[in-house]
Structure 1
Amino acid sequence: MWHTVQRLALGTILIALASAVLLLADRRSTPRATRPGNSKVAPPRVVQTIPLFQFNSSSILDDTAAGVIDGLAERGYRNGEQIRILRLNAESDLPTANTIAKQITDGSYPLVITVSTLCLQVVAHANKDGRAVHVFGAVTDPAGAGVGIQRMDSTEKPRHLAGMGTFQPVARAFHAARDLWPDLKVVGTAWNPTEANSQACVIRGRAICAELGITLLEANIESSRDVMEAGDSLTARGAQALWTGGDVTVQNAFESLVQAARKARVPVFTNTCGLVRKGALLDVGASYTEVGKAVGLMAADILGGADPATIPVHDRMPEQIQLNHQTLKGLRDPWTFPPKYVSRAGLIIEEDGSVRTNVKPEAQAPVVPQPPAPLAKTWRLQLVQYNESPGAEESLRGFMVGLKEAGLVDGRDFTLRRRSAQGDMATLPGVLDAAQAEGGDLFVILSTPTLQVAIQKIKDTPLVFTFVANPFVIGAGKTDTDHLPNVTGVYTIGAYRDMAVLLKTHFPQFTRVGTLFCPAEINSIHNKDKVLEELEKQGITLDAIPVSTASEFPDAALALCSRNIDAVVQIIDNITDSSFVSLGNCAKRAKLPVFCFTTNALHQGGMICVARDYVDIGRETAQKAALIMRGRSPADIPFAPPQRVRRMINLENAQAVGLQIPEALLRELEVLQPTTPKP
């Protein structure tokens, strides 16, 4: 309780201070010049105030902000002379960040500069109408930040938004760690799944580990207080090293992660330069001063007349390497610093604690990983699915992307033959028989019915499954590590607890909800029982109606929407996935809100989803397949749930049934961008 009071008090004080600073700041602005920006553009004659906003006080963000100021000055925009830079810092408090974002985008400032992913997100949300030109930097994955940037190296973005990404060199960090100890097999990482930057790094880390034959153990955290416990659990599970990418939560308690590593005498390696000063063994990251300088130069060009709409968003990675000899000498395993790393390191902590600098970070030659060699043979992959539902198709798309990210080349390292039972259970055994007769080195299994038949028919050939709600109830295993020796995969149990809590917290008026389920599908019964269990914990009653075939689904949907329910909370199963649009239409006519567990359902009448990302699930499945193709036994590869949960809203669908969304919830949700509806 006292901690909560302290946090609230801190937030209130910070908001008050931010408001006072903004009110006292000189808000005079200068009309923009008409000439394109370049190094010879004359600075403005009238002083204008430019907010420079960072989320917290960390070496990365402080260095970036300093670089921004240097870049502006290089173009002739010196702080206190031609411009006045208004430094703003939320000190890791999200309510304060939201308040600052609203105030600096109220039209008083023609240009705003943000540093960090969270600042990009809160300012972009407050600035949707483009009242200020927004320049950003120190962002790991701009396209994944949910601010309307469609892809990198393009101008497909809001016209008032410009900036650059700095995707941490995850691949180089793992290749470097393997060079420092060639026998490295197991790495642990603690990360906060609510951070888009951290999630992007972990997804990349999974792919690199699959390529290198490294097992990546993961521990999710919610706050910096969880870091020590997460580090201890990872080393207890066998991690030979700990790694952190761009996770701000971990960096705020980095000393705790180092302490956990020291107890186990294993190292920490990172993608954030400067952490060797806090006990990391190896940093392979960016020079954020150089990143900030590039951002400052871009902002200066816009002040000089450049159109932000024409500036593509691209990556900027001035790489540097840093080493720590003090950490090296206390390790359990024989880690070493090869000469090529010592010669390239921009900073080295010596055994006596002294610091040696070698070269300027921007002058370092990057550590370039060699492309993976072709596999010893071309693997024949047989992919078998129950039907071609939207979720299955997204999983398959992610699987193909994941194979590519793992360094595997279609036609060289593998061929893939795809088969479908078209939703007919009677046909499914014959489809698997045909796949076996043709021959395969690895079977990729989509859906619970397919896996249920496959484990009865295929005993020796590796099976990798995905799009399966619960592999345990059909006999594929007892736990994640105790399973059939030829089987591994990623199971997709819905985020039912998260949904139940969301309903109770934000829609307490909903006390009775309904769902459809298929009694012929084991996974459907399991999902119905799980959502019932979680809803009952929150005091919510579930009215469940059975539906056995897709042809019965429209009538069952009509019956459900005629019941005395406050909302529909539709579970995941194969029939629902292929027929959801019928339910969406019935609910819309009945003015009932629909809560769902797949992102695709938002295109078919769903309003709010708490969903597993099936593309990510497919990618994670591909990483397990890649491990097998590189020599690992499925028996040694644990089953795993997906790591990512997306909380999204289709505002158009919500408005159509009159669903009022609380402001607090709306700030948490990712808004579905308007697209052509999916069939």
Structure 2
Amino acid sequence: MTLKKVLNIALALLVTSGILLLSDLNNRKTASKDTVEASGGLYAVEGKQYQIGMSIFAPEPVLDITLEGLWQGLRELGFVKDSNLTVVVQSANAELANFQAIHTNLDNSKADLILVTSTPAISSAVTAIKNKPVVFTFTYTPLEAGAGKSYTDHLPFITGVGSFPPVEKTVAFIRDVFPRATRVGTLYNSSETNSRKVVEMAKKNMADKGLTLVENTVINTNEVYQAVSAICQRQIDVLWITGDNTMMQAFDAVVKVCGEHHVPIVVNDNDFVKDGVLAGVGVSWGATGYRTAPYVARVLNGESPANIPIENYVEELVTINQADVKRFGLTIPESYRKAAEEGLKATVSGASSGHQLAALALKGKKVKLCLVHYSLNEISEEAEKGLKAELVNLGLEEGVDYTLKIYNASGDITTVNSIAESVAAEPWDLIFTASTPTLQAFIKKINNIPIVFTNSGDPVGAGAGVSFSDHLPNVTGISTASDFEGMVRLVKASMPGIRVIGTVYTPSEINSVFYMEALRQEAEKEGLTLLVAPASTVTEVSDAAATLIAKGVEAMTQLSDNLTAGCSDVIIKHANDHNIPYFAFITQQVEKGAVAALARDYQTAGADAVNVALEILNGKDPKNMPFRLVSKTNVTVNRAVMNRLGLSIPSSYMNASTHTP
């Protein structure tokens, strides 16, 4: 068939597709973004079977890597391939014309969604698929393929993740590695929208760098060998191949011919960097696949793609073939060598945590959150800091993905109850409480909104449940119960022969009474006597500390409750004035004069609470989520105070931390 005939056929198909697309869009826009609500959430429903129908251009290594990332992400969300998830794959066998029949077939199958894995597949899907929702991945240019006008204004039945390659950085790499180069060759299938877009951008970038882009195009894989032979004879200094589906299918021919002509190759698909390919400056497709998992999960559970914005996600990757560097006698700048090393480390370490998938599923939803403090003491401030930092670390943007209103009762129970009543009157998506008193007040007034607590030492004693696993149906969270056994051991290891320790506690705080009794039990197990003194105000705290010292305590092991945490300086001063070691359960008190702290990490407690909340916001039921202990505990030592008091704290305690899975 002549090239002219092929182009005429392609034009006819394009016109026909355009007419069909316009007609179909008019019909399918009835499923508008405003009328279709989210359904089952992010996590797989227990006992339910799911099915994906998937179209591929043809088998290739880079697609395999993308899919490995996708299946891993879905496993973390409870969708396990060949268990509760069946995947039916149909290949176009590297022929673009085959996609139409494939998508028509999948559209009439039992699949819950259709997964398309190339830009040409998207172009076909938007016209051929009329009944099923569509999710895409492994594509450069989904919008140019017809998925929509923008990432938020897209066809209501399709969404997914695109990864446009780092064209500007690719050109910069070529310029830096080949400073004398003037002509860069490229090959691509002119029928592929993604390739045309990338080449168009590269041409402009190369012109800015003093490079001329020499192009040659193909229609199918049979033309690749001849095309690459022709371009190598056009005095090019280097050949650059972007992620063109046709070229990737015939890549061995590219490598063979370039090797014969001694032409180095740079690609955008890093997994093709092997013998005969110098470098890749491109996309980490495994990360893209992993990033696509929540899109697939949400649609599998019934959410309309109309509600899920398209995303362009790129984890840039530099890969260098040292054998080719040596063969061509090149010098790779340090910045690229370092980037390649970092990329290798990232590949070895694997994909990111399931928490990031859960956060991604909230993008653009603007969930309504509130955080309630009893008082802003050291513990509460640390928890708030950790909570806010985790939201940022997970890529969530305040005002876009969520709103967070913060309340502070300033240590007044009446105010806590008033805040609880006010919060109960508003439609929150989730409530955080940052102390035991706030937890107590809120569980009495709110039973229809999820509550996630943090900084509560005794949530069971507060009334949130009868155990960590049997609790109120709308409540779960992070317990920060102190490590009393560890504290007693630390004190005994630091002060051999000690017999009497002391603490101030607050009788009106349930967690404080719980802590006091727990510390007493652990002290008695180790042959120590715990002296305690009650306090209900800041003034009483000072008097209580003086009383304990007068009774002969040899060390203060001060509990962490709301009252004493807010005026710890007072107790520390009494202790230091009498050369009595002060051991803390709050890390920040070390800076104030405590000799050591064995402390739950309250910033981590805030972060842990966010990750619990993400699971709930993505469909998990709080009643099935047991309370958890904070995942990190720190030991911090004040060496100056230790030396002044003549103590010898074992080296194993010096700046140690432990993590709870």
TM range (shorter): 0.3 to 0.5
- Structure whose alpha-carbon radius of gyration is higher: 2
